[in-house]
Amino acid sequence: MERCEELSKQSLALVTILATSIGYEKAAEIAHTAHRENKSIIEVVKEMNIMDEKTAEELLDPINMTGVKK
């Protein structure tokens, strides 16, 4: 389970959830930066101060996206 969670958090696909909040262009910039710098989407969002950390963590949590209770 931990390995699956780790891999999902590294997925560039997570950026799609951001597009509705911050727009496609900014989301694409985040994905490009994450790929280029070998960082996770959440790391780049935090570094760029796109949104507050708590919101970013909740929004980009892959388990939350599935609707499965922890």
pLDDT per residue over 4-59, tens digit each?
667 666 778 888 888 888 999 999 999 999 999 999 898 999 999 988 888 888 88
- Provide the whole-model pTM: 0.77
Q: Is the pLDDT of residue 63 over 80?
A: no
Distance CA 53, CA 59 (A): 10
Q: State both tokens at 54.
A: 């708590």
Which backbone phi and psi does 31 adopt, to 5 degrees? -60, -45
62 vs 27, higher pLDDT:
27
- Return d(Cα 53, Cα 42) in angstroms, integer: 9
Residue with tokens 């909740």, as numbered in its chain:
58
Task: Pick the closest to residue 57 from 39, 45, 66 (CA basis).
Answer: 45
Ranges 31-35, 60-64, 65-69, most confident: 31-35
Look up residue 26 and give its amino acid. Answer: K
Q: Looking at residue 26, what is its pLDDT?
A: 94
